[in-house]
Structure 1
Amino acid sequence: MGCSTACSTALRQELRLSNFKLDHPEPTLFLGSEWQGEPFEGVKLWYVVYRWAWAVYHFSWWVVNVVSEGGIQAPIQRKAYHFIYLTNWAYFSIMIMNMVHACIISVSWLRYRRAANLPKRTTLSLKVLWALQNIVFLPALLITAAYWTVIYDPANPVTALNAEVHIINSVYVIIDLWVVASPLRILHFYIPLCFLFVYLVFTLVYWAAGGTTPEGETAIYSIVDWDNLTVTLPFVFCSAALSPLMQVLWPGREVQGQGCVQGSGKMCVCVCVATVCVLQGESFTLFLFRLLTLQVFLILTLCSHTHMILQLMTDVYLTLRDYGVPNRIYRKIRMFKTE
C-alpha cells in the first residue's frame, strides 16, 4: 500500500500545471549521470568525455548523411532535398542536442567542480537543453517504428547510413535515457508535438507550392500524402495522440524519487499509473481523460494570447497567399471530395 500511495502522490505532483514550464528545483540533474549517486558532488570528467563522444559521433554521421544525399558528386540543388525528410530533421536535432549538451557539460565541469558552486536555478541554457531532449527522444522512436513498419522496402538493401538514422538513432536514445539524470515531465508532451506539427505544416506548404521528391513524387512519405487525406489524417491524429502517451511511457525519474523504487535504476511511469489505477479502483481510461483535460487547459491558456496569435497567423496567411498556397490547397481538397 505504501508503494501505491507514493506513486499516487508522485503522479499528482507530476501532473501539476506548473510542470508545463521548463523549470526544475534541482538543476544539477542536467549536469550529471543517473549513476553518479547522491548527493551530487559536481560534474565528472568521464561524463564530459561521454557527452563529447556522442557529439562527435553524431556530427560525423550527420556530415556523411548530407554529403551522401544524391551521391557525393551531386549538385547543391540535389543535396537540398536532404532537408525535406523528417528522418533528417530528427537526426539533425540529435546532433544539435548532443553538441549543446557537450558544451554545457564542458563549461559546467570548469565552473562547477565543487559542490558549493552548483547552480541553484534552471538557467536558460539548461532550459534549452531540456527542450532539445524532449524534441529528440520521442521523434527518434516514432521514426524508427514508422520506417520499419510502413515505409521500408525489403527490396532495398539496408546500408550503414540507413541503419544509423533508422536504428542506431533509437538505440542511442534508449542508452542515453538510462545514463542521463535529466528529468522527464509527462506534461512536456507539447514539445515533441510542436516539433512534429512544424514538420507537418512544412510538408503541407511544400506540397501546396508544388514541391516534389528527387524522384518527382508529390508525397515525401507514403503516410504523409496530402493528395490522399485518408492516409495522412490518421497519421496526423495518431502522432498527436502518441505524444502525450509516450511521455507517460518514458522512464520517470520523478516518480522514482518519491520512493516507488529502491536503488538508482529508472522505472516506467506507465506501470505506476496502471498500479495506482487498479489499487484505487480507477480505470486507466479515466487517467487518460484527465491527461487530455490538461491538454485542453493548455489550449485555453494559449487562447489567452489570442490577439498575438491571430496577428501572427494573419501575417503567415498573407505571406502564403502571395505565393498562391491557399488556393492550391483549396483546389486539392475540392478534387479529393469529388473523387
Structure 2
Amino acid sequence: MRDTSEDSCCLPFKQEFQRSKFSLHHDDPGVFCRSQWQRGDRNILWLLYRWIWAGFFAGGVIGSLVSSFNDGKWFIYLTDWGFTLCFYVCTYGAVVATIYFFKPSYFAPGSVALKIYWLSHYTTVVIAMMITLVFWAALYPSMPEMGADLYNLWAHAFNSIFMIVDCFMVAFPTHIMHFVYPFAAGITYGIFSLIYFWSGGVDFMGNRYIYFILDWERPGLAIGTVFGCVVLVSCFCILVFGFYRLRTCIYNRCSGQKQLEIPSTRASTETVQVA
C-alpha cells in the first residue's frame, strides 16, 4: 500500500515501463464488464450503451460492404480493417457486458476471453486514431471530394470519436506496455500491403498500390510511411494511457474517493476505489 498522500492521478510514469506491465492478467474480471461510472455490478444503461454502439458499427460495416465490396477489394484497406475492429470490439464488449449482467460470477480472474477483449480494445483505439490522423492529414488533401461522404466520416472521424469516448466510459486500466498489440496490427498490415503488391494486386481504380503513400514501387516513400506510422502508434499508445489516468483522476475528484494500490496482476499493481 502506498502513501495515500500521493496524488493517484500522477503515479510515476516510469512505473509503466516494467516487464510485468506486459501482462494481461487482472484479478478483478468485473472491471472489463462494468463502466467506471456505474453503481453496483449491474446497470441496464451500461448494457444499452454497449449494444447501441455495437449496432452503430454493425450498420456501418454492413452498409459499406454492400455498397463498396468491389470484388473483395473492400478488404484491402486499412480503413476497413480499422472499422471492422471497431465493430468487433463493440460487439465483444456488448456480449461480455450482457453475460456479466445476468451472471456476474461467470468470468474468473485471468479469463482468456477478457484478455482478448483488453488487448483488442487497446489496439482498436490506437489504430482508429492513427487512421483518422493519416486520412485527414495525408490522404484527404488529394481527394477533398470524399470529405462529405457519410462512410468517410463514419470510418475516419466517428471511429476515433467513439473509441476515445469509450476510453472514458470503461472501468479497466490501460498499460503503455500493451503497445505490442497495436504495433503487431500495424506491422501485419504493412506486410500485407507488400505481399499484395508483390502478388500483382491493385486498388479499385487499378493502381498498383492500396494507398499512394504506401506505394512499394517507391520503396523509400512506403518505408517512410511505415516508419511514420510506427512513430504515430507510439504517441497514441501514450495518449491512450493519458486518457486512462485522466479518467481515474476525474472519477476520484467527482466521487470523493481515494485509491489504494492492490495487486491486480500476478506481478504488478493496480488501483481499487475505497470509501
Q: TM-score, normalised by structure 1?
A: 0.67
Letter in 1 for 2:137: T
Q: Deviations over 1:178-201 (max 9, x none)?
A: 111121110011101101111111
Alignment check: 8 A CA contact 1:190 1:243 kept: no
In 2: Cα distance, 1:180 partner to 1:111 partner:
19
Secondary structure of the residue aligned to 2:168 is helix
**Equivalent residue number for residue 321 of structure 1:** none
Alignment equivalent of 2:30, drawn from 6, 28, 31: 28
Q: Please say if residues 3 and 260 of structure 1, whose CA atoms lie closer than 8 Å, have aligned partners that are also in contact.
A: no
Inter-partner Cα distance in structure 2 for 1:122 and 1:86: 31
Seen in structure 2, the aligned counterparts of structure 1 residues 24 and 15 have a Cα distance that, compared at 3 Å, is farther
Q: Which protein has the bigger strand share?
A: 2
More deviation, 89-98/230-239: 230-239
- Provide closer, same or farther for how the CA distance between residues 227 and 26 of structure 1 changes in structure 2, counting only shifts above 3 A: same
The letter of the residue matching 2:43 is K
C-alpha displacement of 1:14: 2.4
In structure 2, the partner of 1:218 is 208
- 1:126 aligned partner: 114
Specify the alignment match of 2:96 in structure 1: 104
Q: Distance in 1 between matches of 2:151 and 2:166?
A: 20
- For residues 56 and 205 of structure 2, the distance between their equivalents in structure 1, rounded to whole angstroms, comes to 30
User: Are the structure 2 counterparts of residues 48 and 228 from structure 1 closer, same or farther at C-alpha, using a change threshold of 3 Å?
Assistant: same
Q: Which of 125, 129, 137 pairs up with 1:149?
A: 137
The TM-score with structure 2 as length reference comes to 0.82
Structure whose residues are more often helix by fraction = 1
Whether the 8 Å contact between 1:135 and 1:191 is mirrored in structure 2 is yes
- 1:30 is matched by which residue type in structure 2? F
* Distance in 2 between residues matched to 1:126 and 1:241, nearest whole Å: 28
Q: 1:149 to 1:4 in 2, by over 3 A?
A: farther
Q: Structure 1 residues 109, 81: CA separation in 2 closer, same or farther (over 3 Å shift)? A: same
- Residues 186, 244 of structure 1: 8 Å contact kept: no
Partner of 2:54: 55
Q: Which amino acid aligns with 2:68?
A: E
Distance 1:262 1:6, change over 3 A: closer
CA distance in 2, matches of 1:17, 1:180: 24
- Provide the alpha-carbon RMSD of the alignment: 2.5
What residue number does 1:83 align with?
75
**Within the alignment, does 1:14 sit opposite 2:8 as a pair?**
no
Larger Rg: 1
| 8 A Cα contact 2:24 2:118, kept in partner | yes
In structure 1, distance between residues paired with 2:96 and 2:234: 28
Gap runs ≥5 in structure 2? 256-275
User: Could you tell me how far apart the structure 1 residues matched to 2:220 and 2:128 are?
Assistant: 25
Q: Which residue number corresponds to residue 187 of structure 2? A: 197
